[in-house]
Structure 1
Amino acid sequence: MRTNIVVLVALLVLPLSLYAKDKRDFTETFPLDECTFGNEGGNRYFILQPGRELHYDNSDCVEEGDCDELEALTITVTDALQDIMFDGEMISTRVVEEFETADGEFAEQSFNYFAVCQETGDVYYFGEEVFVPDGDQPGAWLAGQEGAMPGIIMPGGAFLLGARYYQEVAPGVALDRAEHTAMGLDVEVPAGAFEDCVEVTETTPLDKKEESTKLYCPNIGLVVDDDLELIGIVE
């Protein structure tokens, strides 16, 4: 992958060996009752602006011989809203579509439901529907059903290095969790060069071998998702 990342000299980044031994719990309960939820806005690293499209692919990885197939991803903040009944309250969430292809063939489509806590800027994840070519719906869940709770996809306010929290809280189905592993990064991808970016490492207790690294940049959002790099934005 051609992504260029520069860590500023003054940046405090915890050693990888420390993360490997880190036994701190991930936060899984959040002050939801203190939030007034909205479905537009978001925060500097996660933007809920209807009509906004972000396009990604792994063409550099393919050209370098490190990837076997050309993958492409489009993330669209749609005009659609999804009402979700949670804890006796109807939450109006924004529908964000992710559409993935592999070598030009359909691979996966998901509809993700997000709402922003207007008091804090935290963007909460309320569930998703997933569709794959064989018709299955792997990992589909909805807050308020079968014990599932909202998680945080991206906190508002300051980005705290070392913060750990669940993004999805659907027991036995979806338990993605995030850890803030770096900040103050300069990142260059096909869509441009960006400063003051942050790194989030995602894992899940459902598969201890699974790990994903994502980079987010201010006022842009997701820029790198493992081998996928941002190649363009449609506002």
Structure 2
Amino acid sequence: MSAQWHCRWLGAAAVAAAAALAACGSNTAAPASSSSATQAGSPTAGASARAPLTIADPYQPRIDPAAFTTTIDNPYFPLVPGTRIIYEADTAGGRSRTVTEVTRDTKTVMGVATVVVHDIVTLNGKTTEDTLDWYAQDRDGNVWYFGEDTKAFEDGQADPTGSFEAGVAGALPGIVMPGNPQIGDAYRQEYAKGIAEDTGTVHSLTGAETTPLTGPANDLLVIQDADQLDPTSPAEHKYYARGIGLVLTQNITGPAEREQAVTIEKF
């Protein structure tokens, strides 16, 4: 699953936030048919009761298409169509650049209309990954991840490993951003057994970091991501700024890599 602005970026962020708020008047989700917050540790889309999010088996999220909208205005994960965010990092292999575009396209997955986000990753100017991600928001503000069509490029070959679509071959959607994150919340971000099993845990609501877009900030949401399929892979802390989204990804184990948002554009 792929990534997501101090004086220089405030104007752009305000435009994006205004656009998100303006969009709230349309595509509003109808109430979900269930009011239970969890079932065997699994979330229910649009549940009205707030219970701590936990990772448990069996994972059986209940998805009611009527509970979702393509207006994604979660303050920590706003997806405004026509917005492009660029991230950069110095890695062992060279300079990495990720361009994340919130497209104006939608895709229906499990009966849910989702927003299509396009990520292109380059290393030293050469494309290494090209991914389409699918997101939707439930009526309680939780942003769900419904899958991805991803290709990694090496030696001229495209490798689709990691691609999955919720509702196909047992794959299920997960929550990429809670509507009301609380420290200790733990949740599946995606679930395709043996293919994609990332999880997230809310680590802090007052993360302190400095990025090119935010300058010094001490009110960042910090989520620790982990890959359940590879316990030896580096764990990450992802820093989210309210009204902006993801501004920094930093390894907390393994190679000391730091990927940060450097600019936001409209297209």
Correspondent of 1:220 among 234, 244, 253: 244
Q: Compute the RMSD of aligned alpha carbons.
A: 1.9
Q: 1:76 to 1:34 in 2, by over 3 A?
A: closer
Deviation at 1:185, TM superposition (A): 2.0
One-letter amino acid of the counterpart of residue 160, structure 2: Q
| Rounded Cα–Cα distance in structure 2 between residues aligned with 1:137 and 1:228 | 23
CA displacement 1:151-170 (0-9 Å, x = unmatched) = 0010112x210110000011
Assess if the C-alpha contact under 8 Å between 2:54 and 2:185 holds in 1.
no
Map of 2:18 onto structure 1: none
Q: Tell me, what secondary structure is at the counterpart of 1:126?
A: strand
Percent identity, please. Answer: 28
Correspondent of 1:125 among 141, 145, 149: 145
When the two structures are superposed, what TM-score results if normalisation uses the length of structure 2?
A: 0.70
Moved more, 33-42 or 178-187: 33-42
| Rounded Cα–Cα distance in structure 2 between residues aligned with 1:140 and 1:34 | 22
2:99 counterpart of 1:74: yes
Correspondent of 1:145 among 144, 168, 176: 168
Moved more, 194-203 or 169-178: 194-203
1:84-233 equivalences under 5 Å are 84=109, 86=110, 90-117=111-138, 119-133=139-153, 134-157=157-180, 159-193=181-215, 194-210=217-233, 211-226=235-250, 227-233=258-264
Larger RCO (CA under 8 A, 6+ residues apart): 1
CA displacement 1:166-185 (0-9 Å, x = unmatched) = 00011111001001112212
Unaligned 5+ segments in structure 1 are 1-23
Superposed structure 1 runs of 4+ greater than 3 Å apart: 27-31
When the two structures are superposed, what TM-score results if normalisation uses the length of structure 1?
A: 0.80
Deviation at 1:25, TM superposition (A): 5.7
Deviation at 1:34, TM superposition (A): 8.6
Q: Tell me, what secondary structure is at the counterpart of 1:32?
A: coil
Unaligned 5+ segments in structure 2 are 1-52, 251-257
